[in-house]
Amino acid sequence: MPQKTSEKKLAAWRRWSLNNPDKVREIVRRWRENNPDKSKAASRKQNLNQYGLTLADFEAMNRKQNGLCNICHKPCSKHKVLSVDHCHKTGRVRGLLCDSCNKGLGHFKDDFSTLIRAATHIGWKN
């Protein structure tokens, strides 16, 4: 059975893009520059898909947390959105975090005993 025209075009585009990565990067960069809102939405959607979430799921979590980070209870800085925090072992979504808290947890590699030692180091009493 012959390929449909759109399938042929898609196959040709894939071949061309594999052979021209610099040109593809430039095309994508220009599109993002000219379409910032669409670019952010596409990036958010792709990010949510990797956790099995829809935009509606994200918005519900954001409302439940009143738009605040689940750890520091502060809003994100201007032009930022809360990040989806998840367990790296199980993939389970834990909540939404600001960039600082998300990176902080990442640096501790979800190691509970290291987090406790860090909390003790800064003066937390059990």
State the burial class of residue 102 (Cβ atoms within 10 Å of its Cβ: 0-12, 13-18, 19+).
middle
Please tell me the total count of domains within the chain: 1
Domain that holds residue 106: 35-121
**Would you say residue 11 lies in a domain?**
no
pLDDT value of residue 89: 84
50: domain CATH number is: 3.40.1800.10
Q: pLDDT band at residue 3, thresholds of 50, 70 and 90?
A: low
pLDDT value of residue 114: 92
Which residue, 121, 59, 126, 65, is CA-closest to 98? 65
Digit-coded pLDDT (tens) for 67-105: 999 999 999 877 678 899 998 888 899 999 998 999 999
Q: Which residue has the higher pLDDT, 125 or 98?
A: 98
**Would you say residue 14 lies in a domain?**
no
Can you read off the two tokens belonging to residue 78?
A: 């201007």
